[in-house]
Amino acid sequence: MSERSRIPPPPGPVPSPCTNVCVLDAGSRLCTGCLRHIDEIVAWGSMDDDARRAVLERVAARRGAPPPPQNTNANCTPR
């Protein structure tokens, strides 16, 4: 069992990782601010917390770093 799997998720709803830098890369279709794929951004509002945590794990893997800290930014809107 990995160290991360033993850490319980933080209480409360999982906030959006949006950084308010909403620019999509045309090739990868990833937001250059939050590194979510356009499909993850669109679906975020209807995801449950487990699905949102899975997105945060993928974003962290894309960054090559631990998951971002929780924040209270609004959902990212693609432009």
Q: What is the pTM of this model?
A: 0.67
- 41 part of a folded domain: yes
Give the per-residue pLDDT at 4. 56
Amino acid, single-letter form, for residue 1: M
Cα radius of gyration rounded to whole Å, the chain? 13
What is the number of structural domains in the chain?
A: 1
Pull the structure tokens for residue 14.
């999982």
- 10 part of a folded domain: yes
Band (pLDDT 50/70/90 cuts) for residue 12 is confident
What range does the domain containing 26 cover?
4-63
Would you give the distance in Å from CA 25 to the centre of its chain? 16
